[in-house]
Chain A
Amino acid sequence: MGKVIVVTSGKGGVGKTTSTANLGTALALLGKSVVLIDADVGLRNLDIVMGLESRVVYTSMDVIEKQCELNKALVRDRRVDGLMLLAASQKNNKDDMQPEQMKAICDKLRTTYDFTLVDSPAGIERGFRNASAGADEAIVVTTPDVSAIRDADRIIGLLQNVEVEPINLVINRFSPQLVGNGSMMDQADVLDILNIDLIGVVPEDSGVITSTNRGIPLVYEDGSPGAQAYMRIARRLTGQRIPIPDLEQKGLLSSIVNWFTKKK
Chain B
Amino acid sequence: MNLSIKQLFGRKPKSSNIAKQRLKLVITQDRVDVDDRFMTRLHHELAEVLAKYFEFSANSVKMNLKQEGNSYILVADFPYTKFHDMSMRR
Contact = CB atoms under 8 A, between A and B. Distances in A.
A and B part of one assembly: yes
Interface of A: 145-146, 149-150, 153-154, 157, 179, 181-186, 189, 192-193, 253-254, 256-257, 260-261, 264
Interface string B14-34: 111101101110110011001
B3 A185 contact: no
B20 A182 contact: no
Interface string B49-69: 000000000000000000000
B19 to A, nearest CB: 5
A182 B27 contact: no
24 contacts: A146-B19, A146-B22, A149-B23, A150-B23, A150-B26, A150-B27, A153-B31, A181-B4, A182-B7, A182-B15, A182-B17, A183-B14, A183-B16, A185-B16, A186-B16, A189-B19, A189-B20, A192-B20, A193-B23, A193-B27, A254-B4, A257-B8, A260-B7, A260-B10
Is chain B's binding surface mostly helix, strand, loop or mixed? helix
A19 to B, nearest CB: 22
User: Ordered nearest first, which 8 A-B pairs have the shortest CB separation?
Assistant: A182-B14, A185-B16, A189-B20, A153-B27, A183-B15, A257-B4, A146-B19, A182-B16
Interface of B: 1, 3-4, 7-8, 10, 14-17, 19-20, 22-24, 26-27, 30-31, 34
A183 B13 CA distance: 10
A197 to B, nearest CB: 13
B30 to A, nearest CB: 7
A257 B17 CA distance: 14
Nearest to A188: B20
Given A145-B19, A146-B22, A185-B19, A260 B14 contact: no
Contacts of A145: 19
B14 A253 contact: no
Given A193-B24, A261-B10, A253 B16 contact: no
